[in-house]
Amino acid sequence: MSIDLDKASAAYSDFLRAMDIGPENGVDVHEAGRLVSELMARRMSGMSSLRPVLTRMASMDHHDPVFVHGLPFYSFCAHHFVPFFGMIDIEYVPDDWMAGLGGFCRIVEYHARRPQFQEHLTADIADHIMQDLEPRGVRVTIEARQMCMELQDRGQAVIRTQAVRGQWDSMKTS
């Protein structure tokens, strides 16, 4: 994927002018266009980066649940194109392999840095872990604030989504 920052910057500057925003409102539309385009290019980097792979190590007969809680993330709603953000909890029961824990951070960042819906983000992370790690079971829970709700004066709510894959009878539900 190739991002044309000049074209994106010009388009955003045009958008601001169409919204009747400009120097009379204290906004340098050219500078704003450049800054927004650069920020969005960084925030959308998951669309062009290589899919990370979890580092695997033998589980040595460890089949008790592993919990990775409180991984922060920031993403953009594919509907309104405003941020949603929060924390991700990953729980899995190893089979033959355990994961290098830093890989979970890379997986979260890879999937979060693209426009999408929270439900898809949750499922994509769970599917990624199942494919790379082949655990007995995995559960991914996301709790996030959706700015599309808040910016429409619909209150500040935390939305919780969960994806469960594999055998889950050995996991305690939360």
Same domain, 12 and 72: no
**Do the beta carbons of residue 125 and residue 90 sit within 8 Å?**
yes
The stretch 20-40 carries a mean pLDDT of: 94
**In a domain? residue 10:** yes
Please report the pLDDT score of residue 153 as a whole number: 86
The dihedral region occupied by 134, where left means phi > 0, alpha psi between -120 and 50, and beta the remainder, is left
**In a domain? residue 101:** yes
**In a domain? residue 85:** yes
Same domain, 113 and 156: yes
pLDDT by residue (tens digit) across 102-147?
999 999 999 999 999 999 999 999 999 999 999 999 999 999 999 9
pLDDT category at 167 given cuts 50, 70, 90 is: confident
The answer, yes or no, to whether residue 174 has pLDDT greater than 50, is no
| 34-38 contacts at long range (C-beta below 8 A, 24 or more positions apart) | 34/5, 34/9, 36/9, 36/12, 37/5, 37/8, 37/9, 37/12, 38/5
Same domain, 101 and 129: yes
Same domain, 136 and 68: yes
CA 120 to CA 102: how far, in whole Å? 22
Residue type, 102: G
Same domain, 33 and 60: no
**Do the beta carbons of residue 110 and residue 46 sit within 8 Å?**
yes
Same domain, 112 and 140: yes
Same domain, 18 and 93: no
pLDDT higher at 121 or 149: 121
Other C-beta atoms closer than 10 Å to the C-beta of 114 total: 19
Domain count, the chain: 2
Please report the pLDDT score of residue 2 as a whole number: 79
Please report the pLDDT score of residue 171 as a whole number: 52
Helices (H) and strands (E) in the chain, counts: 5, 7
Closest CA to 96 of 129, 122, 58: 58
DSSP 20-58: T-SGGGT--HHHHHHHHHHHHHHHTGGGTSPPP---EEE
Identify the domain containing residue 15 by its residue range: 5-43
Same domain, 113 and 80: yes
CATH number at residue 152: 3.30.1130.10
**In a domain? residue 51:** no
- pTM (predicted TM-score): 0.89
Same domain, 162 and 118: yes
Same domain, 15 and 98: no
**In a domain? residue 173:** no
